[in-house]
Amino acid sequence: MATPEQETGTGWDRLYVDGEWREASSGKTIPVENPSTREEFAEVPAATEADVDAAYEAAEAAQPEWAAKSREERLEYVQAAMDGLQARYEEVVGLLAQEGGSASGKASGEVAISVSDFRTAIEQEPPADEERDSAFFGESKTHHIVQEPVGVVGIISPWNYPLHLSTRALAPALALGNTVVLKPATDTPITGGLLLAEIADEAGFPDGVVNVVTGRGSDIGDRMASHPIPRVLSFTGSTSVGKSVASAAGSTVTLPALELGGNAPNVVTEDVDVEQAAKIGAVGSFTHQGQVCISINRHLVHEDVYDEYVDLLVEHAESLAVGDPSADPSVDFGPVVNETQRDDLVEFVEQSVDQGASLETGGEADDLFFDPTVLSGMTNDMAAACDEHFGPIAPVIPFADDDEAIELANDTEYGLSAAVQCDDVERARSLADQIDAGMVHVNDHPIQDEPNAPFGGMKQSGLGRYNGEWIVEELLETKWISVQHEEREYDLL
């Protein structure tokens, strides 16, 4: 089979629809830049709504035959895709650095968890059909409760973990008998989409089972979300955009599976090893330049250890090696993804300082390299604390007792992730139970994702759960078939 490069000689400038590499119907492309150098290294197609229609129609046409295959047959393809990704491990790590500014550790970890997405999809057994002989109404009746694939699944993935946040929906959807249309983020169209199309093509998936369309959200996002063909739409992104996506999906009675924004609190009690807690806090705030929905957005620290914690957090921030991960794999910290992201971060810091916070370190940008930043003297209503800043900013807020810590932690519209650092595990568990978040991690940072644990949020942070048996529930429909074995009397006829 021909890869985009083999077929066109120009790299990634083709969509993948119905088993074919084709130009966008617009004939236009979008440049892809390395955020570290600002150099263009590829062009991808600027798809139109007509291209989205073609992709969904191809997926719909291919789905019945794909679902009719035995699970074992489908898993052979999924296994081949997993093997293909694993074989290109180092190449993909490099692509994540080049396209998204991912440092080596983050990129390696993302490829590893993406491989595990395929492995988990292979290992996860769907619910068995049930047969029940007892009936509340009538006799000699058997109930059959069966699970069927929903049909076509649309996926809109983000730029921060583009590979994993595509594969976590793609792999189980395919394993369960669904077909897929994937739209990656404009900033990361290769690692979020076209790379996976190439892997699917090389794995030999039947035409139309995997389809990838690249383009700006302003051009094709609404059509992806409001199209009448998909039965489930997986979206990962901001809460504001997620609400629009959910509304569009709802107009066609498509189930929206949403992982949205977060404002993770990290509660640090007075009995901790402060040095260890600050190390955990630094990882939680500065991994991938803070561009993680589950990163620490607020450090809530007991007043007895507040000053020491701030000093240690500053030391960690200033120790990070900043640079171009695509040129130097040893750097800890790369660029933010684009100018909009950088400008928002500068504004959050400036507003917080104007509101009375103290800038302990960082707060400045050199092109897209935004310094790891620590703000002390913060309150919950300051800009860098009440907003999801989505960057390497660590606001540190003092509290006096556990009740105040919980009040501060829950004083947000979000409820995605959280962490508690506390030496007394019983007390830590009590704090964790009181925090309104879908995921809470004790004595660890909140940037956690396990294939056998439910991933998702409360409040304005989303709907549904990913991973394991929880995503299976999203991707299957339950059907009740009853069989009446003997004639019965019908009083109303």
- Catalytic residue ranges: 259, 293
Compute the Cα dihedral for 333, 338, 342, 348 and give only its sign.
negative
First CA to last CA across the chain, in angstroms? 62
Amino acid in the structure at residue 176:
L
| Token couple for 441 | 């991690």
Compute the Cα dihedral for 412, 413, 415, 417 and give only its sign.
negative
Q: Are strands 462-463 and 414-415 parallel, antiparallel or unpaired?
A: unpaired
Q: In what order do the strands lie in the sheet with 255-259?
A: 20-22, 15-17, 210-212, 179-183, 152-156, 232-236, 255-259, 462-463
Cα 193 from Cα 389, distance rounded (Å)? 26
Cα 81 from Cα 85, distance rounded (Å)? 6
Neighbouring C-beta atoms of residue 172, cutoff 10 Å? 28
| 359 and 312 Cβ atoms separated by less than 8 Å | no
Amino acid in the structure at residue 445:
H
DSSP, collapsed to helix, strand or coil, labels residue 222 as helix
| Token couple for 65 | 């035959």
Cα 141 from Cα 171, distance rounded (Å)? 38
| Token couple for 108 | 């390696």
Cα 319 from Cα 13, distance rounded (Å)? 40
CA 98-290-158 angle, to 5 degrees, is 60
Residue 330 burial class via C-beta count within 10 angstroms: exposed 0-12, middle 13-18, buried 19 and up: exposed
Q: What is the DSSP letter of 190?
A: I
Compute the Cα dihedral for 71, 76, 77, 79 and give only its sign.
positive
- Which residues pair with residue 149 across a beta bridge? 476
Cα 332 from Cα 282, distance rounded (Å)? 12
Tell me which residue has tokens 């189980």. Answer: 172
- Which residues pair with residue 477 across a beta bridge? 148
